[in-house]
Amino acid sequence: MEKPLTQHIKNDNTWLSLKDYEKTGGYQALRKALKLNPEDVTKEVKESGLKGRGGAGFSTGMKWGFVPLGEDVPTPKYFVVNGDEMEPGSFKDRLLLEGNPHQLLEGMIIGAYAIQAQFAYVFLRWAYHQAARAITRAIEEAYEAGYLGKNIAGSDFQLDASLHVSVGRYMCGEETGLLNALEGKRANPRSKPPFPGVSGLFGKPTVVNNVETLCNVPHIIANGAGWFKSLSKTDEGGTKIYGASGRVKKPGLWELPLGVSLREILQEHAGGMQDDFQFKGVLPGGGSTDFLTGDHMDVTMDYAGVGKAGSRLGTGTLIVLDDKTCPVGMVLNLERFFAQESCGWCTPCREGLPWTAKTLEAIENGKGEMKDLDILNFQTRYMSPGNTYCALAPGAMEPLQSALKYFKEDFEKHIHEHKCPWKKE
Partner 1 sequence: MAKIIIDNKEYESDESKNLLEACLSLGLDLPYFCWHPELDSIGACRQCAVIKYKDEDDTKGKLVMACLEPVTDKVRISLEVDEAKQFRADNIEALMINHPHDCPVCDEGGECHLQDMTVMSGHNYRRYRFKKRTHTNQYLGPFINHEMNRCIQCYRCVRFYKDYAGGKDLDVFGAHDDIYFGRHEPGTLENEFSGNLVEICPTGVFTDKTLKKHYTRKWDLTNAPSVCHNCGLGCNIIASERYGGIRRILSRYNGDVNGYFLCDRGRFGYEYVNSKKRIQFPFKKQNNSLVQIEKKQAIQEIRKVAEGKKLIGIGSPKASLESNFLLRQWVGAKNFYAGIPETEGKLIQKVIEIVKSGKVNVPSLNEVKSYDAVFILGEDVTNTAPMLALNLRQAVRNTPKEQAAGLNIPVWNDAAVREVVQGNTGPFYIAAAQATKLDEVATQTYRAHPDDVARLGQAVAHAINPELPETDCSKEAGKLAESIAGALLDAKKPLIVAGTSLYSRAIIEAAANIAFALKEKEKDAGLFYVAPEVNSVGLFLISDKFLDQAFENVNQNDDAVLIVLENDLYRRTDKNSVDNFLQDYNDIIVLAYLENATTQHATYVLPAGTFAEADGTVINNEGRAQRFYQVHVPENDVESSWKWLQEIMPVGTAESTIHFENIVYNLVKTFPDLEGIQSVAPPADYRKGTQKIPREPHRYTGRTAMHTNINVSEPKPPEDTDSALSFTMEGYSGIPTAAITPFYWSPGWNSAQAINKYQIEVGGELHGGNSGVRLFDKKNSNIGYFKNITKTFSPQKGEWYALPLYHIFGSDELSAQSPAVNERLPKPYIALNNSDAWEAGVKEGDLLGIVLQGETLKLPVKLNTGLTKGTIGLPKGLKETVGTRFPFWITFKKIKDE
Partner 2 sequence: MTTQNNISEEIKKEIEEIYQHFPQKSAACIEGLKVIQKHHRWVSDEAVKELAQILEMSPDAIDSVATFYSLIFRKPVGRHVILVCDSVSCWMMDYEKIAGYLKNKLSIDFGETTKDDRFTLLTIPCLGTCDRAPAMMVDEDLHRDLTTDKIDEILKNYE
Nearest to 270 by CA among 215, 322, 333: 322
By CB under 8 A, which span of 119-127, 137-145, 342-350, 407-415 interacts with partner 1? 342-350
Nearer Cβ to ligand FMN, position 258 or 363? Answer: 258
User: β-pairing, 317-322 with 252-257?
Assistant: unpaired
Nearer Cβ to ligand FMN, position 6 or 288? Answer: 288
By CB under 8 A, which span of 95-103, 214-222, 297-305, 337-345 interacts with partner 1? 337-345
CA dihedral 371, 376, 378, 382 (to 10 degrees): 150
187 interacts with partner 2 by CB under 8 A = yes
52 interacts with ligand FMN by CB under 6 A = yes
Nearer Cβ to partner 1, position 190 or 219? Answer: 190
The residue from 61, 173, 285, 329 that contacts ligand FMN (CB under 6 A) is 173
243 interacts with partner 2 by CB under 8 A = yes
89 interacts with partner 2 by CB under 8 A = yes
Nearer Cβ to ligand FMN, position 84 or 141? Answer: 84
Cβ–Cβ < 8 Å for 69, 108: no
Which own/partner contact pairs does 125-129 have at CB distance under 8 Å and 24+ positions apart?
A: 125/83, 125/84, 125/85, 125/86, 125/165, 125/166, 125/172, 125/173, 126/165, 126/166, 126/167, 126/168, 128/83, 128/85, 128/94, 128/97, 128/98
Residue 371 touches which of partner 2, ligand FMN, partner 1, none (CB < 5 to 8 A by kind)? Answer: partner 1
38 interacts with ligand FMN by CB under 6 A = no
Cβ–Cβ < 8 Å for 239, 301: no
Nearest to 63 by CA among 229, 200, 220: 200
Which amino acid is it at 79? F
Q: What residues between 253 and 312 interact with partner 1 by CB under 8 A?
A: none
Residue 266 touches which of partner 1, ligand FMN, partner 2, none (CB < 5 to 8 A by kind)? Answer: none
Residues lying near partner 1 in the complex (CB under 8 A): 74, 169, 186, 190-191, 193-194, 198-199, 202-203, 339-348, 350-355, 358-359, 362, 371, 375, 378, 382, 386-389
